[in-house]
A and B are shown apart, each in its own frame.
Chain A
Amino acid sequence: MKNAKILVLLMVAVMALTALAGCGAPAGKENQPSTTAAAPKEDPKPAEEPAEEKLEPITFSMFVAGPGEVPPEDNKIIKKIQEITGVTIDFEFLVGDMEQKVGIMIASGDYPDLIGAGQARGRFLNAGSFVALDDSLPNYPNLWKHYEPFMDRLRSVSEDGKTYILDIWSRQYWLNDGEDDFYEADYNGPAFWIQKDVLAWDGYSYPKTPDQFFDLLERYYAAHPTIDGQPTLPFEVHSQDWRSFCLKNAPQHLIGGRNEGDVVVDPDTLEVEIYQNKDYAKDYYGKLNEAFKKGLINPETFTRNYDQYLSVISTGRVLAMFDQQWNFQDGEFVLINEGKINRTYVPLGISYSGELVSYNRVKNEGIIGGNGMGISTKCKDVERALKFMDTLLEEDVHRLLYWGIEGEDYYVDNGRYRRTPEQKANFDNPDWRLANAGLVIGDQFPKLEGRYSNGNSTGAATQPEERLENQFPYDKEFYGKYGFYTKSDFLPVMEHPGYPEVWSIFSTMEEDNVAKPVFDQITDLQNRYLPGVIMSNDFDAAWTEYANRYESIDYPALEAEVERQIQERKTK
């Protein structure tokens, strides 16, 4: 009897303890960020008091709404940056579905210190996730110099006309010495990208229409049914989630337009129309349907996820695709790394008319607004974060991020920055880069583009001597056959049309905007139906069904809204 009682009491004690432990955990977790944040502040203080300039170490957490890899802690450049600024960035890159990840973050209000807003900028802005920076920016000389000419554009993306997002791309610095053109970065936007070997095999031809393009793929495929022992995949159509632009965005370029996302804009009248249900879209999908029936498009292309897509590209057996280069570059890096230069890609300016069009090779007009990162309302030290970014814009620091350490990653010859073939090979290796280069930080923060004040390029990839000398012999010969300098030259340059790219309007739309549900509906419809249309036996019937469904959506409301916003933001 007594034993039993003791046993019961023991059990009660154990359970109470486990329950307490269970209840205690979440509370402890909530406290954690603040304690970890406070700890480094206090600890090293006494030791560093003598050296007054040295900044207290601080760690900022940062979420990036885009793909990426977290660098190892012993990355030498990141360590250097820590020494200079005292700042450690704790990155979290997007994995999986962006809308959901961002939705959960907003719902919980549990923001990191810094947010790389990417395509989710609209949702963050509307949720009031960012700190307004208008008052602080002028206190930071580098940042102010960087953004001052473009403050209107930074402000244009928010409802209340304040600055929340700092653009991380497109602020270019030129010297106007007549040589600036040689420093233009390689084109990495949308186009029909084709393997160099296909063009070379065809006697360095340049297909100019969709017909010629698919005809070339067909002929090459017939002559090369396998590549390196594996079946050739003539044309890939990636269509997963938000990357379905590979599936959908081609028709707007085929009629000569810039990348506006889901609409085309008449450059003269600034009238807007949805194009996924128009005849010029039908012609394109009809062409894809034809290609599918000929076996040029493998049905599995529609069920491949992004990783699988990159993996088939890295095998070198994908002849061509419509895509944006930054989206498939991880697959292309593997090809470069393995020396399969003939399997890497160049863009083609194909159009229905046969006249070469620019796709998105548009003359840079500086910052577009909303294309960057912001400081969240939960940031533990806003001034410190700004100071960090200000430091990153110093040429010496910037050079660490994009060139590396002098003597190790590059050398200086007569004032020009150069790299040995070995240094370049290192840099071309994605694994090496992750462990030894600073691009991870550079890419997510405001940065210099164009040229340093000493005339050198702000990035090794655009240093002209290096481009020419270190260009792979294959590339040199290949571009030479066309009389080109880089792959960008495959596309003509377009004058800036004077209004922002429409996709940037879409992604900064307020949540309760009338156009928003319409946009969701057409996106859903297109992602759901277009693969089936391309694969259908009876294309006309499948297209008619799809087009009829399109008519049940109130898309004119979206067109009107986009037109209104373009009028508000146009610069000319």
Chain B
Amino acid sequence: MAIKELSPRKEFYKNLVKQKELVLISIPFFIYFFIFSYLPLWGLTMAFQNYKPGKTFFEQEWIGFKHFENLFTDPDFYRVMRNTLGMSIINLVLSFVTAIAFALLLNELKGRIFKRVVQTVSYMPHFLSWIIVCGLVSNILAMDGGIINDILVATGLVSEKVHFMGEPNYFWWIVGFTNVWKSMGWNSIIYLAAITSIDPALYEAASIDGYGRFGRMWHITLPGIKSTIIVLLIMNAGWILNAGFEIQYILGSNGLVLDVSETIDIFVLKRGFGRAGGFAFGTAAGMFKTVVSSIILVLCNKIAGWVGEEKLI
């Protein structure tokens, strides 16, 4: 009642003083984000300049949307977009399905120790760096002593060794399944956590109603973690243009698969740093990627709202 009498400005100051601890707490984060997230945004101006390193900001020549025009008329750009989306969708679908399925199956395991061991083993690869994973993959798939080829030939499934690393049709799938191997266990942790919060009474009720194991998984567990799945889907959809960088760069830099391996990140890197004077062009390509990602994120969030699920933002 006393509050009503105060002017909005006075009210603001009053709140400020009253919540001084909260304000103090937020200051470090404010500084952090300002320095590392907002200050670098200044660099985006490069995308509209004929940028030359060594010159000051005021000496740069402004050229408007020229770099974006070049970007959208560059045939390579459409190729890398296709690769990015292709690998991204494969990654998204594969990693979603496998992580959820794995969590469901793991949840059904009875032996506590066995369950723990399986879980630990399955998420260990998450901690390996890509350079090691890529080394493993290229060794396993090699023609010259690679175990997969040895098995395929020994079992008579193929008559001649398969050149996995040099066949464009396989590349996206190699990336997809490597991602699954590396991240399935890790991704499933969050679903396992969500599953534990489901009320056990529901399972009891379901078994009384005559549902078997799969029935309970389908009708109780899955709906129980639906909101988690949707939130994660929204978050991952925002990353749809991040198809990865390391694995494509390390495994896909030979001429045979280059056409299908280059993602937008590699494109930005190659044009930005690889070609003379490409900083501005690279910035423009990176900026395009950020804008599209933001739009997709907002869209997915809206869609989640429409289908009656919790929105992330």
> Which residues from chain A sit less than 8 Å from chain B, CB to CB?
5, 8-9, 11-12, 15-16, 18-20, 22-23, 97, 99-100, 103-104, 106-107, 109, 123, 126-128, 231, 239-241, 244, 298-300, 302-303, 305, 312, 511-512, 516-517, 520, 527-532, 535
Given A19-B28, A511-B276, is A241 in contact with B253 using a C-beta cutoff of 8 Å?
yes
Select one of A103, A303, A532 contacting B165, CB under 8 A: A303
Residues of A within 8 A of B163 (CB): 299-300, 303
Contact B21 A240 (CB under 8 A): no
- Nearest chain A residue, comparing its CB with the CB of B76: A524
Question: Main secondary structure on chain A at its contact with chain B?
Answer: helix
Query: How many positions in chain B have a CB within 8 Å of any CB in the partner chain?
Result: 35
- Nearest chain A residue, comparing its CB with the CB of B21: A8
Select one of A20, A107, A128, A532 contacting B256, CB under 8 A: A532
Q: At the interface, yes or no: B272 with Cβ under 8 Å from chain A?
A: yes
- Determine how close the nearest CB of chain B comes to the CB of A245; give it in whole angstroms: 14
Q: At the interface, yes or no: B254 with Cβ under 8 Å from chain A?
A: yes
Contact B273 A23 (CB under 8 A): no
- Determine how close the nearest CB of chain B comes to the CB of A524; give it in whole angstroms: 9
Contact B256 A303 (CB under 8 A): yes
- CA of A299 to CA of B27 in the docked complex: distance in angstroms? 59
- CA of A312 to CA of B256 in the docked complex: distance in angstroms? 20
| 13 A-B interface contacts by CB (under 8 A) | A8-B21, A8-B25, A9-B21, A16-B28, A22-B32, A100-B274, A299-B143, A299-B166, A303-B254, A303-B256, A312-B144, A516-B276, A532-B255
Would you give the 0/1 interface string for B19-39, flagging 1 where the beta carbon is closer than 8 Å to chain A? 001001101110110010000
Contact A531 B277 (CB under 8 A): no
Residues of B within 8 A of A300 (CB): 142-144, 163, 165-166
Contact A302 B53 (CB under 8 A): no
Contact A106 B143 (CB under 8 A): no
Residues of B within 8 A of A529 (CB): 255
Given A97-B274, A512-B277, is A531 in contact with B256 using a C-beta cutoff of 8 Å?
yes
Residues of B within 8 A of A107 (CB): 53, 273, 279
- Determine how close the nearest CB of chain B comes to the CB of A511; give it in whole angstroms: 4
Contact B275 A100 (CB under 8 A): no
Select one of A15, A109, A127, A298 contacting B28, CB under 8 A: A15
- CA of A262 to CA of B163 in the docked complex: distance in angstroms? 30
Residues of A within 8 A of B32 (CB): 19, 22-23
Within 8 A of A (CB), among B141-191: 142-144, 163, 165-166
Contact B269 A240 (CB under 8 A): no
> Which residues from chain B sit less than 8 Å from chain A, CB to CB?
21, 24-25, 27-29, 31-32, 35, 53-54, 138, 142-144, 163, 165-166, 253-259, 269-270, 272-279
- Determine how close the nearest CB of chain A comes to the CB of B234; give it in whole angstroms: 29
- Determine how close the nearest CB of chain A comes to the CB of B263; give it in whole angstroms: 15
Contact A106 B277 (CB under 8 A): no
- CA of A517 to CA of B271 in the docked complex: distance in angstroms? 11
- CA of A8 to CA of B259 in the docked complex: distance in angstroms? 55
Contact A128 B277 (CB under 8 A): no
Given A128-B54, A298-B143, is A528 in contact with B166 using a C-beta cutoff of 8 Å?
no
- CA of A548 to CA of B27 in the docked complex: distance in angstroms? 61
Q: Which of B31, B32, B142, B254 has the most CB of A within 10 A?
A: B254
- CA of A240 to CA of B258 in the docked complex: distance in angstroms? 11
- Determine how close the nearest CB of chain B comes to the CB of A340; give it in whole angstroms: 19
Contact A239 B144 (CB under 8 A): no
Given A511-B276, A511-B277, is A11 in contact with B25 using a C-beta cutoff of 8 Å?
yes
Residues of A within 8 A of B259 (CB): 528
Residues of A within 8 A of B53 (CB): 106-107, 109, 127
- Determine how close the nearest CB of chain A comes to the CB of B68; give it in whole angstroms: 18
Residues of A within 8 A of B166 (CB): 299-300, 302-303, 531, 535
Residues of B within 8 A of A104 (CB): 273
Residues of A within 8 A of B35 (CB): 23
Given A300-B165, A529-B255, is A109 in contact with B54 using a C-beta cutoff of 8 Å?
yes
Contact B253 A240 (CB under 8 A): yes
Contact B165 A527 (CB under 8 A): no
- Determine how close the nearest CB of chain A comes to the CB of B18; give it in whole angstroms: 13
- CA of A104 to CA of B276 in the docked complex: distance in angstroms? 11
- CA of A529 to CA of B276 in the docked complex: distance in angstroms? 23
